[in-house]
Amino acid sequence: MPASPSTDVLIELIAPLIEHDGYIRTSLPSVTLMALRRPIPRTPLIYEPSLNIIAQGYKIGYLGNHEIHYGPGQYLVQTLPLPFECETHASPESPLLGVSIRLDPALLVELVTAMGERDVKDEESPVPMDSVSMTHGMHGAVVRLLQTLHDPFEIAAMGSQRERDVLFEALKGQQGAALRALVHHQGHYSQIVQVLSQLHARYAEEVSIEALAHQANMSPSAFHKHFKQVTQASPLQYLKRLRLIKAQQLLVQEAHNVNQIAEAVGYHSVSQFSRDYKRCFGTPPLRHRKEERALQAS
């Protein structure tokens, strides 16, 4: 079995582009750099559909009973915006460094069509989120993408091609079936994907399980079964977690008070919102806001 490619060159390419902790935007809208100099205990969060490559540091994702380990030599393929829990291992001496490439639906359709892959059958049960071993082909594509970020002229001329190369390698990898399932509109997986898109667009609205099942063209019992198979949560558990993560983002980023945020994410009772928030994050909303802003300012 060939040895895994070294991540040293990835570190050398990412480090000069990092000015602060967090997510750092680049001149390519779909490409974001990641940096963190402190560990973060297991906490709920949500990623948009993306490929996440870690050059240094380590993460463990928890989706239901499934543990997903990814660090140097691996990359995470997230095909759906699933709420999950994540634990980050990093330090000032060995900060987490990585790059995230947001999945472009149009580019995904173009590549899948050009590759002429067979349709994904429903019984293959694609996994919406998993880590994949870094191949030499993927490593080379990521290196070329990061090299491009160092040259404005190359970004303008070759940026989109570099993103295309990375996605092409991911389609060839172990999570290729899950990526292709986003394009081939067939089977239960695709029906659940469409429902999830609606939930994310209208998460603050009242939800009827019967209406969601009808949208997926399933009976309520079949819908519940297939929804949990994909997301590792019941529809109501998923929606609650989604609302609370959206609330956490608003708390840190906006100046709204707790009442306004509770209403914005679909809660009619502020006290129930505060209880659910503390149960989810381990800290009441206002204290969580103070702690996160203090960390950002340090």
- pLDDT tens, residue order, the chain (298 aa): 345 577 799 999 999 999 899 999 999 999 999 999 999 999 998 888 999 999 999 999 998 888 999 999 999 999 988 889 999 999 999 999 999 999 998 999 899 989 885 554 444 568 889 999 999 999 999 999 999 999 999 999 999 999 999 999 999 999 998 898 888 766 788 888 888 888 888 899 998 889 999 988 899 999 999 999 888 889 999 999 999 999 988 887 777 889 999 999 999 999 999 999 999 988 888 888 887 776 666 6
Quick one: which of 177, 182, 145 has its CA closest to 160?
Answer: 145
Q: Are 79 and 128 in contact (CB under 8 A)?
A: yes
* pLDDT of the residue at 274: 92
Question: What pairing do the DSSP bridges indicate for beta strands 50-56 and 74-78?
Answer: antiparallel
* pLDDT of the residue at 229: 87
* Three-state DSSP state, 170: helix
Cα–chain-centroid distance for residue 173?
18
Q: List CB contacts of 208: < 8 A, sequence separation 6 or more.
A: none
* pLDDT of the residue at 286: 84
Q: List CB contacts of 45: < 8 A, sequence separation 6 or more.
A: 83, 84, 85, 86, 245
If residue 167 lies in a helix (H) or strand (E), which one and from where to where? helix 152-172
Q: Is the dihedral of CA 261, 248, 276, 226 positive or negative?
A: positive
Quick one: which of 82, 87, 98 has its CA closest to 46?
Answer: 82
DSSP 5: P
| Site of tokens 């994702």 | 61
Whole-model pTM: value is 0.83
Q: CB-hemisphere CA count at 13 Å for 264? A: 16
Edge-to-edge strand order for the sheet containing 83-89?
A: 40-46, 83-89, 58-63, 66-70
* pLDDT of the residue at 124: 56
Cα–Cα distance for residue pair 41/34, rounded to 1 Å:
17
* pLDDT of the residue at 56: 96
